[in-house]
A and B are shown apart, each in its own frame.
Chain A
């Protein structure tokens, strides 16, 4: 299995509070991705990174920001959490292009 960890694995928070999710890899892959998984929607891309300090928006980026200060870490921040951001968040890593992506175990976030 690819070395990807996510923390925390579960979080319950209140509307309006900031939340940061962490993805850590030990594979030295260039690309890292954040997806959210919701019933009836499959997985949708939030943001991705193609190198240290290089990030770009995905399909559902509103309300989220990301940072990548080291190759191994990719942080997803909800500046002010809303109930619509209740979801399961998955981090993935890859080499880009048509290559396979490897997924972390996920973080279940509940915003009350």
Chain B
């Protein structure tokens, strides 16, 4: 079946530290990959996405590269800020799946300390 696995949290970092949140997927077709972010008390917002192998999605200093050979889409940021504290979700949807259902990982909570 189709699934997303991301690293368990919580992750606690100091401000300006390097961030990596691992995400791997299993898919029967050709997925598009997404990172969504949920700030405390809010809904999910799209952070970045990639629709084909070797694409790099980027936004707000975050990056993730679609690696078909390792079925991964790891999220990285070179220098985190306190305002990046949130829950991060990796997700996939299958190209050609007309309904576009998102399949989510369980989420990784990030806390950044000053």
Binding site for B on A (CB under 8 A): 31, 33, 35, 40-45, 48, 50, 56, 58, 90, 92, 94-106
Contacts and interface: CB of A to CB of B under 8 A. Distances in A.
A98 B33 CA distance: 9
Given A40-B106, A97-B96, A102 B46 contact: yes
**Which of A31, A98, A101 neighbours the largest number of chain B CB atoms within 10 Å of its CB?**
A98
Interface of B: 4, 32, 34, 36, 42-46, 49, 51, 89, 93-102, 104-107
Contacts, number: 65
Contact of A98 (B45, B95, B104, B106): B95
B100 A99 contact: yes
15 contacts: A31-B100, A33-B101, A35-B102, A42-B4, A42-B89, A44-B104, A90-B44, A92-B102, A97-B96, A97-B98, A98-B93, A100-B34, A100-B49, A103-B36, A106-B43
Residues of A contacting B: mostly: strand
A31 B99 contact: yes
Contacts of A50: 98-99
